[in-house]
């Protein structure tokens, strides 16, 4: 199951999973794009159009699980973000509602599904910016929530002895609609990002940077003084 699959990383991950022969469920806000994706996937596929922020989003996801007879893997890709130089509250609110509340809602459904099923694999798409507060304040903070939320669920799985793997994916720059420049530093294509994400899933890793060299940038961001971060 790929939540948020109509474009960018989510679409590329859905296509990569279908290419390896998986039966795939996909969700997204844009009905036409979702229907076109379902028709294009080479393996059996299912789709349901909804926004992770809408009131019945949890019920919609559960209904898709039921339609498929249960799922073993859920990748939550739905997310948004803005540079927001004027600190516009409407943009901050949209970011937090999608990346925090919507993300947690989807993970909650997946978690309870896996507990009842006896195991499964939950994957969340965070960001390299999760490691440090940045000028895109709400986006970086929301992705820090994603990473910490996934870490908490990973601890819960160990404590309660659930056979649930939880993977935190931290991409750097990926060429998507959210990216602000095609020639940004170390920009990867969605297909390259998806390939490395699927590799991390197959290896059942707890954390993965995409592409892998962004691990170095994450280390530098953590180590840098705040005055330097403010000038980047």
Is 209 a catalytic site residue?
no
Q: Which of 55, 64, 84 is nearest to 2 (CA)?
A: 64
Backbone angles phi, psi at 160, to 5 degrees: -95, 5
Q: Residue 119 in contact with residue 74, Cβ under 8 Å? A: no
- Do the Cβ atoms of 81 and 139 come closer than 8 Å? yes
| Cα separation values, 168 from 38, 123, 148, 230, Å | 26, 6, 9, 26
The DSSP output letter for 205 is -
The token pair at 68 is 């498929």
CA distance 102 to 232: 30
Q: Do residues 123 and 103 make contact, with C-beta atoms less than 8 angstroms apart?
A: no
Per annotation, catalytic residue among 65, 139, 173, 209:
139
Q: Cα torsion for 155, 174, 210, 72, to the nearest 10°?
A: 50
Q: Which residues are catalytic?
A: 139
């Amino acid at each position: 199951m790929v939540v948020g699959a109509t474009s960018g990383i989510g679409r590329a991950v859905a296509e990569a999973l279908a290419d390896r022969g998986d039966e795939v469920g996909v969700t997204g806000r844009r009905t036409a794009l979702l229907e076109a994706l379902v028709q294009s996937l080479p393996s059996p596929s299912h789709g349901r159009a909804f926004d992770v922020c809408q009131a019945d989003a949890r019920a919609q996801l559960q209904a898709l699980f039921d339609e498929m007879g249960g799922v073993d893997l859920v990748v939550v890709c739905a997310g948004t973000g803005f540079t927001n130089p004027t600190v516009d509250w409407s943009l901050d609110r949209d970011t937090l509602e999608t990346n925090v509340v919507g993300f947690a809602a989807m993970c909650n459904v997946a978690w309870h599904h896996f507990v009842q099923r006896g195991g499964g694999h939950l994957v969340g798409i965070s960001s390299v910016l999760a490691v440090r507060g940045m000028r895109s304040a709400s986006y970086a903070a929301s992705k820090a929530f994603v990473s910490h939320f996934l870490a908490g669920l990973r601890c819960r799985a160990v404590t309660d002895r659930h056979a649930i793997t939880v993977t935190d994916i931290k991409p750097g720059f990926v060429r998507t609609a959210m990216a602000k420049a095609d020639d940004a530093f170390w920009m990867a294509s969605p297909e390259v990002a998806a390939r490395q994400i699927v590799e991390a899933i197959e290896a059942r890793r707890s954390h993965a940077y995409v592409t892998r060299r962004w691990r170095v940038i994450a280390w530098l961001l953590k180590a840098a003084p705040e005055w330097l971060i403010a000038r980047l």
